[in-house]
Structure 1
Amino acid sequence: MAERSARWRAAYGAGTGHLLVLLPGFAIAGWVALRLAGEADRGRMLLWFLGAVVAHDLILFPGYAAVDRVLRRLSVRPVLLNHVRVPALASALLFLVYLPGILGLGGATYQSATGRQQVPLLGHWLALSASFFLLSAAGYGLRRVRTGRPRPSPDDGTRQQGSGSRGGRAGGGPDPPDQAGSGRPRRQ
């Protein structure tokens, strides 16, 4: 049985659980493709989808990866960085979803589809984005108050050796030499 599983993993590249998760996704994608095949606007939808993929992979991803890299260099604590990442992601997703309304484009299309006048969404998006960042800042402040003074992260080099940390003795001294000169390391 283990040999069969190893052969499957070598041939497929992942375990059977991976395939079982992908199969429903393929079924849904196939159903959507069949539904779109009968649509008159399928060419425009395909063009929009390909444009979105290209725009994301060539423009958006390098942009937000560079911003994240700069934020990681500026921030010492990953917790603080996550309190910037999450509201920024929520704001960016809302911007992409409501882009025409935020920029005031497509008013005639909106009116013909809904029978209403298009409301400018820029103010709403800015207010919502500001509330995301304010809620995140409040959450960070609450976290700092609850946990007290933040401890330095292990990788910033400010942790003291031997003060109750793993590997050192409680007294702060170095670990004792190996037992009875046997040359073997001491068991933990």
Structure 2
Amino acid sequence: MPKAPLLFRPALGSPLHLAVLLCSFALAAYAGVRLLAGDWFGVALWVVGAALLHDLVLVPLYSAADRTVLKTLGAAGWRERAGYIRVPAALSLLLLLVWFPLISGMMDARYRSATGQSAAGFLPRWLLITAALFGGSALLLAGSVLRARRAAKRRPPAVH
């Protein structure tokens, strides 16, 4: 297989990469045209509103929360273990964001009319998933701490 011209190598890697990228843009354009065919103003308003809500409200909130976690863990000397809190918190918040209308009960009547089932189970399930995420993370942290302690005990003392 011949090498890609130098123009393609730094940014795209290969002509195959360029072809896949162009196909994905074509698919996204097709989906955008189909999505905007009905109520283009409502969709555009929703997208702009979501971007503004994310950038002006959510980013400062989770940045402040992350700084607080890092500051607290840094004071305890565990700053490098922030991922054990970040990952389950991010996954739990993502699930909350996606399923909020059903978790909060705001769409219970609509959900019941569409599916014939109650949305009452979404809050307990989300809480259980959140507990499992943090519990699993705590177990992984405990394992990491135990491995570090065992490795420190096996290490011979430094000779000066």
Which TM-score bucket, shorter chain as reference?
A: 0.7 to 0.9
Q: 1:72 aligns with which of 63, 70, 73?
A: 70
User: Match of 1:88?
Assistant: 89
Structure 1 71/149 Cα, relative in aligned 2: closer, same or farther at 3 Å? farther
Cα distance change of structure 1 residues 112 and 124 upon mapping to structure 2, 3 Å threshold: same
- 1:15 aligned to 2:14? no
Identify if the C-alpha distance between structure 1 residues 24 and 149 changes in structure 2 by more than 3 Å, giving closer, same or farther. farther
Structure number, greater radius of gyration: 1
Give deviations 1:93-139, integer Å, cap 9, x for gaps: 00001000111112232123223332242222112111111110001
Distance 1:125 1:150, change over 3 A: farther
CA distance in 2, matches of 1:131, 1:146: 22
Stretches of structure 1 lacking an aligned partner (at least 5 in a row): 152-162, 164-170, 173-188
1:93 & 1:120 partners in 2: Cα distance?
A: 18
Does the Cα contact within 8 Å between 1:144 and 1:150 map onto a contact in 2?
no
Partner-residue secondary structure (3-state), 1:101: helix
State the distance in 2 between where 1:106 and 1:44 align.
20
- Percent identity between the two aligned chains: 35
The yes-or-no answer on 1:32 pairing with 2:8 is no
1:112-151 mapped onto 2 (5 Å cutoff): 112-148=113-149
Partner of 2:105: 104
Tell me how far 1:42 sits from its aligned partner: 4.2
> Aligned AA for 1:51?
G
- CA apart distance, 1:41: 4.2
Indicate conservation of the 8 Å contact 1:104/1:120, yes or no.
Answer: no
CA separation of 1:58 and 1:22: change in aligned 2, threshold 3 A: farther
1:22 deviates by: 4.6
| Alignment correspondent of 2:42 | 44
Q: Shift in Å at residue 49 of structure 1?
A: 2.2
Cα separation, 2, equivalents of 1:80 and 1:30: 41
Measured against aligned partners, the alpha-carbon deviations of 1:143-188 in whole angstroms (never above 9, x if no partner) come to 111232688xxxxxxxxxxx6xxxxxxx75xxxxxxxxxxxxxxxx
Considering Cα pairs closer than 8 Å and 6+ residues apart, tell me whether 1 or 2 has the greater RCO.
2
Q: Which residue pairs with 1:168 in the alignment? A: none
